[in-house]
Amino acid sequence: MGTGIVAELAQKIRDIPDFPQKGILFKDITPLLNDPRTFRMAIDAMAHQYVGRHIDLVVGIEARGFIIASALAYILNTGLIPLRKPGKLPFLTHRMSYNLEYGSAELEIHRDAITPGQRVIIVDDLLATGGTMRASVDLVNALGAEIVGVSFLVELSFLDGRKRIQGCDVTALITY
């Protein structure tokens, strides 16, 4: 993807200081999502790397990851698996705890969501410290999936999140 397109997409992401708490500079992707042209450009660019690679499932991380994962699953003609906060999935689940840059959290996945050997990509809106994706990779691996890659709309490279998910094929469309 050309640097001009990436720059155009990056211009649609606004900074929100001190959200969700003081000292955090939040990257708000909603203006990019609100513009049909830039939303399509972002999803097409993220999907491009996986076309023809036989992906069975796209795993989306709650909550903004659902938006991107749903669009990617549609384009790639795959199923969609949600990773949710505890208590949101109605069937038997696996749970993983992890640390965020401003606290801790947990994610769950249905135990029968993935058949061993299925080829999946895991998608989220933003890579920061890598804690959320590390937990997601561990949950998906516990079900026996083959993780083809992990994909982000935005990466905050100065937080070194890739270190926590070493061994994964990591891609990010926009890097700060």
Active site residues: 64, 101
Element (DSSP H or E) covering residue 21: none
Task: Give the span between the Cα atoms of 49 and 151, in whole angstroms.
Answer: 10
DSSP one-letter code for 2: -
Task: Give the span between the Cα atoms of 57 and 118, in whole angstroms.
Answer: 7
The owner of tokens 């929100």 is 16
Task: Give the span between the Cα atoms of 155 and 75, in whole angstroms.
Answer: 22
Tokens at residue 119, please? 């080829």
